[in-house]
Each structure stands twice: as C-alpha cells, then as structure tokens.
Amino acid sequence: EPTATKEEQQPIPPPDGGWGWMIVLHFFLVNMLVMGMLKTFGIFFVVLQEEVGGSSEQISWIGSIMSSLRFSAGPLVTIACGKLGDQLTSIIGAGLVSSGCLISTQATSISFLCVSMGLLLGLGFACLYQAAAVMTARYFKKRLALSNAIARSGMGLTFILAPFTQLLIDFYGWQGTLLIFGGIMLNLVPSSMLLRPINTKNLQDFSGRNVHSGSLTQSKPPATLTSHLDEISTTETQVNNRLENAAGLESPVPCRQPLLDFSLLKDPFFCIFAWSFLFSQLAYFIPTFHLAARAKTLGIDSMDASYLISVAGIIEAVSQLLSGWIADQNWIKKYHYHKTYLILCGITNLLGPLATSFPLLMVYTVSFAIFCGGYLALLLPVLVDLVGVPRLHSSLGFASFFAGIAAIAGPPIAGWLYDYTQTYAYSFFFAGTCYLIAPISFFFEPSVHKWKLRKEEELNKVST
C-alpha cells in the first residue's frame, strides 16, 4: 500500500495501484491514439495521392518517417525526460503531435507534409510513448505486466478509428480531418498532466561503484539480481536521507545518473534485450503489411480481408491481457514466456504459406495474433526485469533506437522479397526466421546472470 510521505524525496515502493491506474489510463489513451494515427495513415495515403499529388513512393516516405522516428527518437526523449521530467516531456509530446496535425492542414506539397506530418508527429509520438511507459514501470512493480497489457489493449481499439477516419474524410476532406485529429490529440495534454512524478530524484543508478558503500551487508538473499539492485539502491537512498536528516544538511546525491547512459550498450543484459527486440520488430510489420495483400492473391475479397484484420486486432488485445496476467503470477520468470511466444510466432509464420484458403488463413491469423499479443505484452516487463527501473529510460531509448532501424528496414525488405520471388510466401518465411532468431539471446540469460553475480562477488571481495 502506498505510504504517504512527508517530503516527495522519501522513496516509496511502487504503488501497484492507486494513482497508478490513472497512469495506465493515460498510457491506454496514448496507445489508442498513437497507434490509431499510425494505422489510419494508410487511408490518408490514398486521399493524399489523389489531392496533393506525388508518387506513392514519396507519400509512403511520410508514413515511414512517422513510424520510424517514433522509435528512433528514443535517446532524444531520454535526455528530455532527464532534464525536464516525464510529465513535461509528455505534455510537450502531445503539443508536438497536435501542432503537427494542425500545421499539416496548410500543406501544399509532399515535402511539407514529410516535415509537418512525419517529423513532428514522429517526435511527439516518441515523447508520449516513452514517458508513459517509464511512468508505468515506476508505478507498478508486481503488476507491471498486467498494467502494461491493459494499457496496450488500447491498440485493439484502433480498428474503430479506421472507419471513423474514412467518415471524416468523406465529410470534411483530408484537411478538415487533420484539423479534427489535432483537436483529438490535444486531449493527451490533460491526460499527460496525470503523470504525477514519483520518486523522481531518489532511485539512483546502481553502477559497480556503489557496491563498496557497505550496504551489501544488508541481509536478505535476493531473488533476482535486479531486485537485489533495487534493494541496494533504495537502502542506499535511505542511508543518504537519514544522513541528510541527521546532519540537517542537504548533501548532494553521491552518484549523478548520467542522462544518457552509454555504458548500457556494453551491458550484456541490455544486449540480450536489444537483440531480441530488433529481430522481433523486424519481423512484426511484415505479416501485418502483407496479410491483406496475400488474401487478395488468394482470391479473398477485400471485405473478408478487412474482417480478418479486425479479428486479428481484437484477439491480439485479448491475448495481451491474458499474457500479462499470467506473467504477473510469477510462476516462472517472465522472459521464459517471452521466449516461448517468440518461438511459437516463428513457427506459425514458417507454416504461414501453407494457408491457401480463407479458413486456413483465418487459423494462421488467429494463432499469430495470440502469440504476437503474448510477446508484445511482455516487452516492457522483461526489460524492467533485465535492466531495472533506474536505467529504464536510457535502455528504452537505445532499444527503441535500434527498433526504429528495424522498423524502417522491415517493410522494404519484405517488399523486395516479394518483387524478387513474386510470391508472398518468402515474406512469411523471412518473418518466421526473424522470430526464431530473436529469442536466441534469451538462452544466454542464465549464464550472463551467473557472470554478473561472480563479478559482484569479486568486487565485494576487493572492497571488504
């Protein structure tokens, strides 16, 4: 239960509820609106081609910039959050998104739209997404997976946005639609104000240097290395605060957390996560992009194909919730679930080309949605397990940066595969292979764990 604090600087354990649900609400809205905007870009694509002109390649640049910048701007957002705080960064993000929409209504050329719609929206999305994700991780510990899944289920509602967008375009034209979207995105400003800062100055970065402050003599054998780390950091700060109160002085925080922790790039835990994240992102876009096209080549009409896509969306959302709940029960470590889902995703995709009729394609879609939802819900909790909350911003920033590269590379690779082989089967093979490569890094986790423990013991022996 959250304990009320006298000053905000008193470290409190994550609430796992209470005000945390407001954070989840905000994250839910972010997911719904951000992913909704990204997914409905396809509708804008058609309209823009007719009205503004320009080749389809030029217009698809807008979408690419938008979706890749949403990931790649991660490190930038990390710095912003470090300097300005999560709440302010999120508000700025919401402001960027709505002003991007509003400016785009005045667009007269594709390059204008690339900047106003691609750049501004991409940056805004990145700010919103990362701030919300980290705040969720701060507010939830035991129920992180479930709350993350609840928030992500907002993506499942995006299928409502597509016909809504089409309706708006028919009524107001694309400029009017963007104007109204700008207003809708403005709603993220009050919801960003819900991101009340918590423990912002307390949890310090645990680096190897803090070990010899002596707090390792504290009792309790830790369950995992990171809970150990958390313990150390919290007791560390408790010690500091007691010192503060005793001395009546404000002693400076011993270790300043660097804004962008490049040492993370050498951290094997981060590397494990980044490897798996990169390949799963590379693979993720391909089936979703090519599902409709493959349905068409198999002779399924577009009404049934869109039905397929909406079914996939709903099942993915439900599966995320289930997977989050299961993971929170803590029967086994979360990354085992993550591994399993990734492997099953890979197998489903490798068997995908066997689906040659509508019922078989439906089976493929349903199973892919189940496993995909499963691993997506666990991305954030697994990262928190591996790296810890203090360094979450930096690690999320870097991981997103690499994911952004994959997001840019994925669809063109798939398209090239199709052009080269003239069949969509190879795209599915590629996706399946990437999904099978992704969990390989997790098999190294136990050995890395042991290596780290050994390293700590050595440092302990050195210090004592």
Q: Which residues bind to other proteins, rule: CB under 8 A?
A: 3-6, 50-51, 169-173, 175-177, 179-180, 182-184, 186-187, 189-190, 193-194, 196
**Residue 26: CB minimum distance to other proteins, A:** 11
Between 187 and 263, CB nearer to other proteins:
187
**Residue 18: CB minimum distance to other proteins, A:** 13
**Residue 172: CB minimum distance to other proteins, A:** 5
Between 189 and 409, CB nearer to other proteins:
189
Cα–Cα distance measured from residue 101 to residue 121, given in angstroms and rounded to the nearest whole number: 8
Torsion sign across C-alpha atoms 33, 294, 277, 113? negative
Three-state SS string over 44-108 comes to: HHHHHHHHCCCCHHHHHHHHHHHHHHHHHCHHHHHHHHHHHCHHHHHHHHHHHHHHHHHHHCCCC
Residue 63 zone, left/alpha/beta (φ > 0; ψ -120 to 50; rest)? alpha
Cα–Cα distance measured from residue 239 to residue 425, given in angstroms and rounded to the nearest whole number: 60
Between 122 and 182, CB nearer to other proteins:
182
**Residue 67: CB minimum distance to other proteins, A:** 25
Burial class (CB in 10 A: 0-12, 13-18, 19+), 252: exposed
Between 247 and 462, CB nearer to other proteins:
247
Cα–Cα distance measured from residue 336 to residue 436, given in angstroms and rounded to the nearest whole number: 14
**Residue 393: CB minimum distance to other proteins, A:** 24
What residue has token string 């496993």?
Answer: 371
Between 8 and 456, CB nearer to other proteins:
8
Between 79 and 180, CB nearer to other proteins:
180
A 10 A CB-CB count for 399 gives 24
**Residue 188: CB minimum distance to other proteins, A:** 9
Q: Which helix (H) or strand (E) holds 327?
A: helix 302-328
**Residue 444: CB minimum distance to other proteins, A:** 43
CA 205 to chain centre: 22
Between 191 and 400, CB nearer to other proteins:
191
Burial code of 424-457, b = ≥16 C-beta within 10 A, e = fewer? Answer: bebbbbbbbbbbbbbbebbeebeebbeebeeebe
